[in-house]
């Protein structure tokens, strides 16, 4: 299990390769990466604030729960903070399991929890100013399925 919280960009291909080739007992590796999208064609930057200390703890806890529940061989979670431009990768998760169903489900679980239970806050900067991104009721509701 590896959890990384960093300001710098990461190399999705390199991280995925390293993760996949490190597994020996897994028949399935699933990766997901989140990218800064320019919803209204006016986004200049996304600023991500986090709670140093708690962020790492929360991510470890979420990853550990996923490992136990889906008997994963391994989990990788990388999440950036700071100022990001549209098109940049914000985060990634990777899961390794014996079978793909567990790897897919665990990746979805990680994403759902990362969205609402890891202490990150996004602020969008556009031509008209800056605004904190509001949490969405459906993101909170998504936790209920687990």
Partner 1 sequence: MDILYFAWVRERIGIPKERVTSEAETVMDLVAELRAREDRYAAAFEDLTALRVAVDQELADFDAPLAGVREVAFFPPMTGG
Binding site for partner 1 (CB under 8 A): 34, 49, 51, 53-54, 57, 79, 90-91, 111, 114-123, 132-135, 140
Where do runs of H (alpha helix) occur along 4-136? 12-21, 54-70, 100-117
As measured in angstroms, the least distance from the Cβ of 79 to partner 1 is 7
As measured in angstroms, the least distance from the Cβ of 45 to partner 1 is 15
99 secondary structure, DSSP code? S
Q: Is the Cβ of residue 11 or residue 49 nearer to partner 1 in the bound state?
A: 49
Record the tokens describing residue 5, joined without a space.
């919280």
Record the tokens describing residue 44, joined without a space.
């200049």
Q: In 10 A of CB 41, how many CB atoms?
A: 7
Q: Is the Cβ of residue 132 or residue 146 nearer to partner 1 in the bound state?
A: 132
- Spatial distance between the Cα atoms of 127 and 122, rounded to a whole number of angstroms: 17
As measured in angstroms, the least distance from the Cβ of 115 to partner 1 is 4
As measured in angstroms, the least distance from the Cβ of 102 to partner 1 is 21
Q: Is the Cβ of residue 28 or residue 79 nearer to partner 1 in the bound state?
A: 79
Q: Is the Cβ of residue 40 or residue 121 nearer to partner 1 in the bound state?
A: 121
| 30 and 108 Cβ atoms separated by less than 8 Å | no
With residue 137 as reference, give the H or E element that holds it. Answer: helix 137-141
């Amino acid at each position: 299990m590896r959890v990384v919280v960093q300001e710098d960009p990461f190399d999705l291909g390199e991280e995925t390769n390293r993760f996949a080739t490190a597994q020996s007992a897994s028949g399935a590796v699933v990766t997901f990466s989140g990218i800064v999208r320019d919803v209204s064609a006016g986004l200049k930057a996304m600023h991500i604030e986090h709670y140093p200390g708690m962020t790492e703890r929360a991510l470890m806890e979420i990853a550990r729960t996923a490992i136990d529940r889906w008997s994963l061989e391994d989990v990788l979670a990388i999440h950036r903070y700071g100022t990001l431009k549209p098109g940049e990768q914000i985060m990634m998760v990777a899961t390794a399991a014996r079978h793909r169903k567990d790897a897919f489900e665990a990746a979805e679980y990680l994403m759902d929890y990362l969205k609402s239970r890891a202490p990150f806050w996004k602020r969008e900067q556009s031509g008209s100013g800056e605004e904190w991104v509001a949490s969405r009721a459906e993101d909170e509701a998504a936790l209920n399925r687990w």
